[in-house]
Chain A
């Protein structure tokens, strides 16, 4: 049995998921009339500008109206408004999939470009800083505390952590973010309340980096706190369950060091569910990042998403951002599938 076949099957199924999500996006934007409305408002806005321009040269109101009608038709066919949404939107989807994201209407990249791809790519690293750092912190703390608890079930710490896990699971990230801002930014003034850099930002690279760390601390703490609890519990419970299996007794009977038994046998077998919990937690924080970045005014993709919907919605940006978020999710899932197949030789289909 080749290892490639299961990977191929799983990757393909995720690609299907990808298209289904984009398809649903098209349905949502089109069937609700959202797409028509935004495009029509663009056309009307353009026409208003054109009318004031034309009014200078064409005096005859009838002639003006007929020219305006022509212009309106031109614009509507330019925006494909003369076609139904189910004809128009798949076309824009295909452009998005071929990475031709078009131009934003009223948003600009920090360096001034109107291209959506530039705007999104500029924000992507900022989001990645938050997500990867909190992911690493959660992994390290979760594994350490989870395995420790698995050897001390029922201890005082174990009971405290079980409450913490429930709270951590239930608490909304944005609420926790606000509480942390109130406490550490406003009350104690330890950390800045938002943004990525002080204004003006430090010029040298080291102080600049330190400034970024200070600004990132609260959002990262928030992201870690809301995902850590359930994760510790997954690690703890999986480790306890696996530790009772017969093969662990076999490993102990071999006279191997307890540390080796834990890492090479217990955690090795527990790793597929542990990795699953971790990566699904990460994909969960993808959605959470919209709220967190908004609360902490972090110039990432989540914040961009929020800005796209606030004010005048920009259809191109919505499609582009949904595309990028879905892509990140799918990539994380494909990594998960690959790790699963590598970690557990029994998974082959």
Chain B
């Protein structure tokens, strides 16, 4: 078995204080097998999606009290690296990200080109280049994302939303990373610009073999680009499978409800909402975290954490309903 590009196992990220520990990332495992593949992470607001992307980049703020598990990239364990090693060797150079909230994600007083080329000029390590090479490389990535080179000298307030998003994408590509995390990359854009960005991402994926982790609340958007989808609920991955499996044959009750809640243009069936609200991550329900909102909950669901059950190749779901012999 060849080693995966990215293999995450039992990743935990908890925020303090200890008395009200927030389990934002709770025993998460996921993988991307090779470059040119896209993994979608889908879930409601507050399910820990953004924390997961921060955890993968090891961008921890002071409130983090637990950060553990295993992140392997091409077989190399990243969790044992020191913070400085990780920052120099992994962050942005091998795993980069397009941050959420692109409207404020650019420094308002620096020119776009300078922000894009910054890692080439100020980051220690093998990427360090001369000013001239940095400009050339900046123009290259601007072309890759479909922006003209003169945009480099503009300030963020002189750019439209779509241009900013492309600029951020160009910024993420500057060090030729293998994996790029897109955190709600299109949520601030109108649909036509959103479509342009999605097409651009697909092109980057196929033309440059970029592996993508696509974090979104929008199942439809994820299905457009992702080869595999993981459904996140309350800091956990409750179901994972190929995009086809998740969309056509969802197993976990949460995934089913999530799919029904998406409005469709032509279907006469009105979208249905999920009753209740996402749980408080600092006070999770016992057993399966979804049981208070689940219509088919069994007595055991509130008592024990359900096992992960395989429903086909690559298709895994964590639910008591799928167990052969539900206990109790």
Contacts and interface: CB of A to CB of B under 8 A. Distances in A.
Interface of A: 245-247, 249-257, 260, 264-265, 268-269, 343-346
**Considering the complex of A and B, which 7 residue pairs feature the smallest CB-CB distances, nearest first?**
A255-B91, A246-B104, A255-B92, A247-B107, A255-B87, A345-B155, A246-B105
B88 A253 contact: no
Interface of B: 57, 59, 87-88, 90-93, 96-97, 99-101, 104-110, 118-119, 122-124, 155, 157, 168, 171
Contacts of A251: 107, 118
Given A254-B92, A345-B155, A346-B155, A260 B109 contact: no
Given A345-B155, A346-B157, A256 B118 contact: yes
Nearest to A252: B59
B122 A246 contact: no
Contact of B97 (A253, A260, A264, A345): A253
Contacts of A345: 108-109, 155, 157
Contacts of A247: 104-108
B100 to A, nearest CB: 8
A268 B123 contact: no
A177 B93 CA distance: 57
Contacts of A250: 99, 105-107, 168, 171
A109 B29 CA distance: 84
A82 B107 CA distance: 65
B137 to A, nearest CB: 14
11 contacts: A247-B108, A249-B99, A250-B171, A251-B107, A254-B91, A254-B123, A255-B88, A255-B91, A264-B118, A345-B155, A345-B157
A266 to B, nearest CB: 10
Given A345-B155, A346-B108, A246 B101 contact: yes
A281 to B, nearest CB: 23
B155 A254 contact: no
A269 B57 contact: no
A249 B51 CA distance: 13
A257 B124 contact: yes
B87 A346 contact: no
Given A247-B108, A257-B124, A345-B108, 4 more contacts: A245-B104, A265-B107, A269-B109, A345-B155
A253 B99 contact: yes
Contacts of A268: 107, 109-110
B122 A253 contact: no
Contact of B119 (A255, A265, A344): A255
